[in-house]
Amino acid sequence: MNIVVDGENIQTEKTFPVYNPINQEWLASVPDAGEDEAKRAVEAAHRAFHNWKHTTADERSVFLQRWFQLIEDHTDELAEVMTREQGKPLKEARGEIGYANSYISWFAEEAKRIYGQTIPASKPDKRILIQKQPVGVVAAITPWNFPAAMITRKVAPAIAAGCTVLIKPAEQTPLTALRLVELAHEAGAPPGLINILTGDAETISNVWMSDSRVTKLSFTGSTEVGKLLMKKSADTMKRISLELGGQAPFIVLPDADLDKAVAGAIASKFRNAGQTCICSNRFFVHESIVDTFTEKLKAAVEALKVGDGMDPETDIGPLIDQGAYEKVIKHMEDAVDNGAEIVTGGAGDPSEGSFFIQPTILKNVTDSMLCMNEETFGPLVPIASFSDESSAIERANDTPFGLAAYLFTENISKALTLSEKLDYGIVGLNDGSPSAAQAPFGGFKESGMGREGGPQGIEEYLETKYISLGV
Ligand code: ADP
């Protein structure tokens, strides 16, 4: 497949391979772009910005609607590409295409609602006018766990706001991204509006981060790389949005509806084999119900089918690579060595280059274990218990991260007051899958800054201009 710069399909001499995580089968080779392509992309996006920023909201909206329709028409094809390169089950991949596209339709509408303000001045001969303007050229660097949604969540609001975009998708999953950008050009994207490069992340991002024409960075990925890019953005004072790691607590109070809590645990933990930044990572269950909850969850977990994502029966695919596999095994072994007990699962299968892990529940987990202190990013449920809810909240907040937290209770006062006490950007209250295009997604503390989705999502791509008018 080709990268796209200034509306042109480009091949490079050097390429790199993309493999299927299920068996390491070669899927495709993609361009290994370097500094030259990265610079050309900036020039193209910068040129295109001077036209795109003058388009009307309706024009931008119509383009996004056309792109939406093409993606919808190609859902099956895109989902298959995604399952092959990423490993998630086909039904989840189809779900992701719909979810990714919901950001395009949402921002196609939000483009029309970039409202300004007039504010009463303190002097009769003055008027205060507030306008919103697009921030400029946006660099979007995305991870492998949502090969489509992480692209549209950034590109759709940027385009709706009047910005132009440079995309660097994850090296493990570039094929879905490249196809999405092809469809954007079929939908009528003008040259330079959306540029996409595959290649060495550091080489490409160094060019983008040091160029003052790139005025915004939107990154989703590890906290480590997020911090690095934040530092690199400082010299040119880029606006930044960062969606980084999580350490999501999942708290079940004694009055919770346990069936709802189990359904929420399955939804929040096992999506994408546990490889999402809002996956529940640490379970705190009240001591009076911990055994019942664990038994019910065990039955639900044992019904999950692990296998090749192309099989329609599969619920859980492989982990993305060896490093991901080894981290989960390490967390399991550390917990067992320190006194945790395996309730179900507890093994991996690295045979023939694939990285499957059985969905696993551990009980008698304590807060000092590795799995309670690092993001596992795999299908592991570590269950600890608590006796009073204030200590549960304190333990839940005892982390540098603050992306998503889950709370299950049928008591409305506790639901509200405890949600308020959780230091997290997202609270799933009796809800294991809170992500939605209409809602602001983002974290507190070291989970990042900025919000994606919702009315807030487009603000990230807008500057505020104050015009002081003397009359
Ligand atoms: P993960 O651990 O989930 O792979 P990363 O933060 O490593 O998360 O990757 C997320 C995105 O950041 C990918 O597109 C990757 O290529 C890119 N990336 C990785 N390292 C760097 C870097 N040093 N500079 C810029 N981008 C990077």
Q: Is 277 a catalytic residue?
A: yes
User: Which residue's C-alpha comes closest to atom 2 of ligand 1?
Assistant: 222
| Amino acid type, 71 | I
Q: Are 1 and 175 in contact (CB under 8 A)?
A: yes
Tell me the percentage of the chain whose pLDDT exceeds 70: 99
What gap in Å lies between CA 382 and CA 402, rounded to an integer?
Answer: 19
Average pLDDT over residues 371-387: 97
pLDDT given at position 377: 97
Exactly one of 92, 96, 110, 243 is catalytic; name it.
243
pLDDT given at position 376: 97
Q: Are 217 and 23 in contact (CB under 8 A)?
A: no
Q: What is the pLDDT of residues 437-453, one digit of tens each?
A: 999 999 999 999 999 99
Question: What tokens appear for 433 in the block?
Answer: 């899958």
To test ligand 1's pocket by mutation, which of 225, 230, 321, 376 has the most ligand atoms within 8 angstroms of CB? Answer: 225
- Return the number of other C-beta atoms located less than 10 Å from residue 237's C-beta: 9
The secondary structure element, H or E, covering residue 291 is helix 290-302
- Return the number of other C-beta atoms located less than 10 Å from residue 372's C-beta: 24
Which residues lie below 8 Å from residue 225, measured CB to CB, with a gap of 6+?
A: 219
Q: What is the pLDDT of residues 219-265, one digit of tens each?
A: 999 999 999 999 999 999 999 999 999 999 999 999 999 999 999 99
pLDDT-based confidence at residue 348 (cuts at 50, 70, 90): confident
Question: What tokens appear for 209 in the block?
Answer: 């981060």
> Using a 6 Å CB cutoff, which residues line ligand 1?
141-144, 168, 170-171, 201-202, 205, 221-222, 225, 228-229
- Nearest atom in ligand 1 to the alpha carbon of residue 377 is 3
Tell me the percentage of the chain whose pLDDT exceeds 90: 97
Kindly give the distance from the C-alpha atom of residue 144 to the centroid of ligand 1, in angstroms, as a whole number: 9
Q: Are 343 and 361 in contact (CB under 8 A)?
A: yes
Kindly give the distance from the C-alpha atom of residue 221 to the centroid of ligand 1, in angstroms, as a whole number: 6
- Pick the closest to residue 450 from 421, 423, 425 (CA basis): 425
Q: Is the ipTM of this complex over 0.90?
A: yes
pLDDT-based confidence at residue 189 (cuts at 50, 70, 90): very high
- Return the number of other C-beta atoms located less than 10 Å from residue 360's C-beta: 24
pLDDT-based confidence at residue 287 (cuts at 50, 70, 90): very high
Model confidence at 123: pLDDT above 90? yes
Kindly give the distance from the C-alpha atom of residue 411 to the centroid of ligand 1, in angstroms, as a whole number: 41
pLDDT given at position 62: 98
Question: What tokens appear for 163 in the block?
Answer: 């910005």
What gap in Å lies between CA 268 and CA 470, rounded to an integer?
Answer: 55
Average pLDDT over residues 131-147: 98
- pTM of this prediction? 0.97
- What is each CA distance from 349 to 306, 352, 395, 443, in whole angstroms? 11, 9, 33, 34
Q: Domains in the chain, ordered, with CATH?
A: 3-244+447-470 (3.40.605.10), 248-429 (3.40.309.10)
pLDDT given at position 349: 74
pLDDT given at position 469: 98
Model confidence at 350: pLDDT above 80? no
Model confidence at 347: pLDDT above 90? no
Exactly one of 277, 389, 446, 460 is catalytic; name it.
277
What gap in Å lies between CA 384 and CA 215, rounded to an integer?
Answer: 45
Kindly give the distance from the C-alpha atom of residue 225 to the centroid of ligand 1, in angstroms, as a whole number: 6
Q: How far is CA 113 from the centre of its chain?
A: 25
Kindly give the distance from the C-alpha atom of residue 51 to the centroid of ligand 1, in angstroms, as a whole number: 31
| Helix segments in 90-193, DSSP class H | 90-110, 149-161, 174-186
Kindly give the distance from the C-alpha atom of residue 47 to the centroid of ligand 1, in angstroms, as a whole number: 27
Burial 409-426 (b: 16+ CB within 10 A, else e): beeeeebeebbebbbbbb
- What is each CA distance from 2 to 10, 154, 357, in whole angstroms? 5, 21, 34
The residue assigned the tokens 């399955």 is 266
pLDDT given at position 352: 63
The per-residue pLDDT of the chain, averaged, comes to 97
Model confidence at 115: pLDDT above 70? yes
pLDDT-based confidence at residue 1 (cuts at 50, 70, 90): confident
Model confidence at 128: pLDDT above 70? yes
Angle (deg, nearest 10), helices 223-234 and 201-210: 30
Q: Are 139 and 217 in contact (CB under 8 A)?
A: yes
pLDDT-based confidence at residue 86 (cuts at 50, 70, 90): very high
Average pLDDT over residues 385-409: 98
- Nearest atom in ligand 1 to the alpha carbon of residue 145 is 3
Q: Is 302 a catalytic residue?
A: no
Model confidence at 354: pLDDT above 80? no
Model confidence at 83: pLDDT above 70? yes
The residue assigned the tokens 């001499």 is 13
To test ligand 1's pocket by mutation, which of 18, 85, 141 has the most ligand atoms within 8 angstroms of CB? Answer: 141
- Pick the closest to residue 143 from 171, 179, 104 (CA basis): 171
